[in-house]
Structure 1
Amino acid sequence: MKIMIVEDEALLALELELEVESAGHVVVGTAASRKAAFDIIETSVPEFAFVDVHLSDGPTGIDIGRRLAEREIPFVFVTGNVKRIPDDFVGALGAIEKPYTMNGLQNALTYIAATVAGLEAAAPSGLILCERAPAS
């Protein structure tokens, strides 16, 4: 899977990148701001994204989430303050709360990869899923 990482803390972005790559995925770009993330969305077309809510240019992760949802690119928020995420999760599959463990992140990544591939999978602990209304 081609994955975009949106995180303004360099060490966290690097750790996440290493975990994503060790799970066999490709990081198509890392962004610390809304503009950088929008550029990656347009040029690299990720298949999935991890998005922090509060970035170097403020709480712009929500805007990035909306752009991803418009493009039908699945994503999860990765944040230290889940309360900053709107109730509808702006289209996110869910959220991973910081601080997270590497094992928890790997389990979430396995679940996410299966979900994006259209497979059934049990949600791991540590991944807060968005409550979606049932289809009518």
Structure 2
Amino acid sequence: MNEKLYRQINSLNQIDDNQKSNLLKKLESFTYENKLCHGDFHLFNLIKKDNQVLVIDWVDSSAGDVRADIYRTYLLFSQFSLELAEVYLQLYCEKSGLLRSEIFQWAPIIAGARLSESVSTENSERLLEIINHYCPL
């Protein structure tokens, strides 16, 4: 995960070199135990079969910090419904014991990575606002 995030942020041309450097330093400062992360966990990657929910589309999976994976899901959900994103995060924090602040420290990194993906349905200005909020110039 770390290598992919580094590449994505390093490829950004929507932010200046100073801010890019700050994001990369922030990424390098994180310490964590590598865990399995989905990398693209959202409602369209879930299939209900009988009484089970199956998670599909593991093409973006990697070893990394689960807090980054959680924030990415929050970011994806919040694109369509902030209420859904907040419920997801609240439940995840309650069940895992993780703090919201621990997860949100990944906000500028994941927003930068998402910005590099140039997804047509994503609001680039929203991602830049997140980056600027958590990692100002």
Give the alignment's TM-score, normalised by structure 2.
0.29
Q: Which has the higher strand share?
A: 1
Q: Which has the higher helix share?
A: 2
Give the alignment's TM-score, normalised by structure 1.
0.29
